[in-house]
Amino acid sequence: MDSKEQQTILIAGGGTAGWMAAAALSRFAGGHRIVLVESEAIGTVGVGEATIPQIHLFNAALGIDEAEFLRETKGSFKLGIEFDGWLREGTSYMHAFGAIGRSAGLLPFQHYWLRAKQAGFAKPLQRYSLNELAARTQRMQRGRMQRGRTAAGAEMAYAYHFDAGLYAAYLRRIAEARGVTRHEGMIASVERDRATGDIASVTLDDGRVLAADFFIDCTGFRGLLIEGALGTGFDDWSNYLPCDRAMAVPCEGGGDFTPYTRSIARKAGWQWRIPLQHRIGNGMVYSSAHLSDDEAAETLLANLDGKPQADPRPIRFTTGKRRKHWNRNCLALGLAAGFMEPLESTSIHLIQSAISRFLALLPAGKPSQAAIDHFNAQADFEWSRIRDFLILHYTANERRGQPFWDAVRDMALPDTLTAKIELWRETGFIHREREELFTEVAWFQVLAGQGVEATGYNPMADALPEDQLRALLEETEAAMVEQVRAMPRHIDFLRQFVSGQGTAQTPATKANA
């Protein structure tokens, strides 16, 4: 590539990944010509419609108006994820966004809660979580709350549920308005440069040849460029995450309009429930070694809030990732890069983070090998730490007597996860390594929710007299309850906001999952 000439980036495939890439590149890579190839004859998987708070950063960078975005995607607000029956039948906990409790001195809240729990007067974590209290009572607000009697107003952290197909269509309109050229057609073959080995062009089924300097593979599980042409290789993680089927079906609205995602443990996997303005998204993730497709469909259809709007069909997958997400002059995004089940709503975030990482290393000419190696090292770290977080949900279960759950409870764990669990058990300490996606608070909620007991806590927590510790917990809970009582119902707030009658508060973009 000659860096002095305008470079062409060709995106192979549309869907959420393709149009996210097109929208971002058309906004920030002004010196490049952006081309996207997709075929309406090829459907999208579309198994995930839930996000984490970092989506604010992506939408804000594109200059997207939040109310318009929610109208266009039929979206709703999300304050966290409820895990129903994951420890054992009849139990429930939530991974809520935002802070838990209040720190005191040098120590985070978890150590004071652990001390109070051992002393017998700590309440469940949800009593100290603004987001979970709001979610459980189906209330919602944006930005910073009003200052209360007991504490300064807390800031809400939230994400969204939305229709992924409508989001892709919305981003397409934005991208095309900024100059992205779309070609309708199926890719019949991929040609490589004989001298360099890089991808040179793609040929469509009607014979058109489209050349480019750089290629982004958004062709789904096939990985038509990253795997089909370049033979990059795949790291199989099914020994850690053995579910290998997903089945999705939308249904008519019904039941509670919850500002949270539900993940309900079933006998050989789990079911999701995602409420949108116009329907509810539902699905099953399961192990075909423990449950047939017919049994999965029967379980899914028997647990809907409304009439199904389609027939469920199984989608086969292998959990894992490409050995290189960036290989030569090709970057894989979305399902072409790999797959991890949508248990913690990370699918869209992984597209977003890869785009952000690529823009930071955007090549002006031939890609630097140092840049490629750095990108892949960062991607490997991000994916492996998310993998560990998902495994924790499975391995820490007490659903005894169910073959699938017995197997995942007894499986060998990655050393990185074993070390984190042991550190928590012995000291109550949680370490967030480098730019690991999930924070200490996220790990705290899942470890506690899954019944992984910490036998110790930092002894500095003992320096706080017991009466002051009790007061800290009581005042924290009272502040949270006071804030939540002032919030409108989620459904009322959403209706007002998308109609243009909402408040002018700013989103909590700094919150992590």
276 close to 249: Cβ distance less than 8 angstroms: no
258 close to 490: Cβ distance less than 8 angstroms: yes
In the chain, what is the greatest distance between 2 CA atoms, to the nearest angstrom?
78
CA 424 to CA 135: how far, in whole Å? 27
- Cβ-proximal residues to 152 (8 Å cutoff; 6+ apart), any chain: none
Structure tokens at 435: 């730019």
Spot the catalytic one: 78, 321, 324, 420.
78
Report the chain's C-alpha Rg in angstroms: 23
- Cβ-proximal residues to 156 (8 Å cutoff; 6+ apart), any chain: 79, 98, 130, 131, 134, 140, 141, 142, 143, 144, 145, 508
Residue 31 assigned as binding residue: no
Residue 89 assigned as binding residue: no
Residue 148 assigned as binding residue: no
HSE of 261, CA atoms in CB hemisphere, 13 A? 30
Of the candidates 276, 277, 296, the residue with the CA atom closest to the CA atom of residue 286: 296
Query: How many other CB atoms are found less than 10 A from the CB of residue 187?
Result: 22
Q: 411: exposed, middle or buried (C-beta count within 10 Å: 0-12, 13-18, 19+)?
A: middle
CA 160 to CA 439: how far, in whole Å? 19
**DSSP SS3 for 237:** coil
417 close to 408: Cβ distance less than 8 angstroms: no
Structure tokens at 333: 């995004």
Q: How many residues does the chain have?
A: 513
191 close to 202: Cβ distance less than 8 angstroms: yes
Residue 212 assigned as binding residue: no
CA 41 to CA 19: how far, in whole Å? 17
Residue 15 assigned as binding residue: yes
Residue 16 assigned as binding residue: yes
- Cβ-proximal residues to 188 (8 Å cutoff; 6+ apart), any chain: 203, 204, 205
What is the tally of helices (H) and strands (E) in the chain?
Answer: 14, 21
Q: 218: exposed, middle or buried (C-beta count within 10 Å: 0-12, 13-18, 19+)?
A: buried
Q: At 468, give phi and psi (nearest 5°).
A: -75, -35
Is residue 307 part of the annotated active site? The answer reads no
Check residue 42 and give left, alpha or beta (phi > 0: left; psi -120 to 50: alpha): beta
Work out the end-to-end distance of the chain between its first and last CA atoms, rounded to an integer number of angstroms.
39
**Which residue ranges are tagged as binding site?**
14-17, 78, 335, 344, 348
Residues identified as active-site: 78
**Which residue ranges are tagged as binding site for FAD?**
14-17, 335, 348
**Which residue ranges are tagged as binding site for L-tryptophan?**
344
**Which residue ranges are tagged as binding site for 7-chloro-L-tryptophan?**
78
